[in-house]
Structure 1
Amino acid sequence: MVARLAGLPWCCFPVPQGGLSLWLELLDADSRRLADLAATRNLALTPGFHFSPDGALDRNLRLPFTLPPEALDTAVDRLTEAHAALQDAH
């Protein structure tokens, strides 16, 4: 998942040293809108503001990476499709 996400020009992230999730920073999109579009592609994501006491992190997505590699590949594909649809809407 890290290798696939690293190739995307519209996001960045620190590589987690442990834990269950990766925090993706969106460089050109709001996480709520992207999560909504991802949901239409059967990909459930939680926008970062849900994890912030003051509602910040609106450009972040929390991506769990506990699924098998094949499922994570599918998730990245769906996330990429959702981002493309978001860009088409602009």
Structure 2
Amino acid sequence: MKGDWVEIVIDAGGVTRTYEVVATRAGRRVDITNRRGVVEVSEVTRTGTPVRTARFMASRILALVEHPVTGDGQARPSGEGSEGH
């Protein structure tokens, strides 16, 4: 659903980096796949066609936070640190 987004925090050699993948248009969603030590976060269309994909080594991921959208189009707080998004 438009507005869904996922935050990925990774360890980049002593420094943390944060990446975001967002469903940018109506009907799109964000899917997460974990295969062979690689985590893929993709924005996909209604038919399942990936629009953009981010890949991360699972061993480098410190946090992966999903922010689903409620029925009113606002991101639902999903825990600590999600205020203000």
The TM-score with structure 1 as length reference comes to: 0.29
Higher helix fraction (1 or 2): 1
Q: Which has the larger radius of gyration?
A: 2
Higher strand fraction (1 or 2): 2
The TM-score with structure 2 as length reference comes to: 0.30
